[in-house]
Amino acid sequence: MPAYQLTVNGRSRTIDADAGTPLLWVLRDTLGLTGTKFGCGQGVCGACTVHVDGQAVRSCQTSLKEAAGHAVLTVEGLSRDGSHPVQKAWIAEDVAQCGYCQPGMIMSAAALLKRKAHPTDHDIDEAFADHICRCGTYPRIRKAVKRAAGGVK
């Protein structure tokens, strides 16, 4: 079995696992980064969203082989102390309810604001169209994204 190399939260990691192993399992089970959540396992809920080379991707639908050689960022790597503008806005707007979907939401928000500093309502709706929150936190998510707008480098 070949070993795969990838960078996770700025640290180079070597992973011994099958090529097709979902990145989600590598993050959670191999590396212990349990902030990234398993929801549907089918690419439709967004709970497992991480960044690969700055793009929001579903880690349940990304294989280890696809992630190899790339830079992966999880919610644990956004900041050391919760000081990322999206994290601060999430707290200020009291977005989370049960919290399960929120790491994925936060990673999508961070990716959106990186590519568009001041997103419109339409941009926000598009970015979160494939995210499911069973607690219905969507209105607070929209407010938090707007609060964080302009603050993500």
Residues making contact with ligand FES (CB under 6 A): 38-41, 43-48, 58, 60, 96-102, 133-135, 137
C-alpha dihedral sign at 87, 92, 97, 98: positive
Tokens of 8: 């996770």
| Whole-angstrom distance, CA of residue 78 vs CA of residue 56 | 13
Cβ distance to ligand FES smaller for residue 96 or 124 = 96
Write down the least CB distance from residue 150 to ligand FES, Å: 25
Cβ distance to ligand FES smaller for residue 17 or 48 = 48
First to last CA, the chain: 39
Write down the least CB distance from residue 101 to ligand FES, Å: 3
| Whole-angstrom distance, CA of residue 148 vs CA of residue 98 | 22
Write down the least CB distance from residue 40 to ligand FES, Å: 4
Cβ distance to ligand FES smaller for residue 63 or 118 = 63
